[in-house]
Homo-oligomer: A and B are copies of this chain.
Amino acid sequence: MNVSTLCLGILWFGEATGYEIKKLASEGRFSHFTEASYGSIYPALGRLTRDALVTVREESQTGKPARKVYSITDKGRGVFIDSLQDRVPCDDTCKSEFLFHCLYSEVLKPDHMAASLDARLGFLKTGLEHLREMHENCEHAGSRFAIGYGIAVHEAAIGYIEKHSRLVLPAPAEAAE
């Protein structure tokens, strides 16, 4: 799924600026299965406008650059839904540098492994909290499903790490006090 499609998908639920799209993609309802940077969003919005899949409305402000509020057009909605229906997705991908590191736990400095485990757990717990919050404030069935999925997977990951981290940590020194 490319950034243009993502933008259309976000605009599907309501108008937004490039800035807001970025926030939604990296911190909002879409963040646990999506990514995008300004450097790809702004050019994408330009192309979508050119192709009449979205329209822009400028709101000038004092000081800040004018807000450009994008709205999806009917054509945009059509193209978007068609593009989704074009293929059945199943090959979601995860890239985990964390798991990769775990493979070499015996040869990494013990501190490094402990720090990684810790960082990963923290990251997952923050994410989980965030997802739970969203889950409470969301009525939309599809979004609830996606968020719930994220919650389930996060919980599983946290539970697993907490139960099995000794596999990748050095044997604790005998307690001798």
Residues of A within 8 A of B (CB): 1, 6, 9, 12, 30, 32-35, 81, 84-85, 88-109, 112, 115-116, 119-120, 122-123, 140-146, 148-150, 152-153, 155-157, 159-161, 164-165, 167-168
Contacts and interface: CB of A to CB of B under 8 A. Distances in A.
A91 B105 CA distance: 18
Given A103-B142, A142-B103, A116 B95 contact: no
Contacts of A120: 89-90, 92
A149 B157 contact: yes
Contacts of A164: 145, 148-149
Contacts of A141: 105-106, 167-168
A98 B90 contact: yes
A34 B91 CA distance: 13
A84 B104 contact: yes
A116 B88 contact: yes
Given A84-B108, A153-B157, A98 B102 contact: no
A149 B103 CA distance: 12
A33 B108 contact: no
Contacts of A159: 152
Given A33-B99, A84-B101, A94-B33, A119 B89 contact: yes
A130 to B, nearest CB: 14
B9 A103 contact: yes
Nearest to A29: B103
17 contacts: A34-B100, A81-B104, A81-B108, A84-B104, A85-B112, A88-B116, A90-B116, A90-B120, A90-B122, A93-B94, A93-B95, A102-B142, A105-B142, A145-B165, A145-B167, A149-B161, A155-B156
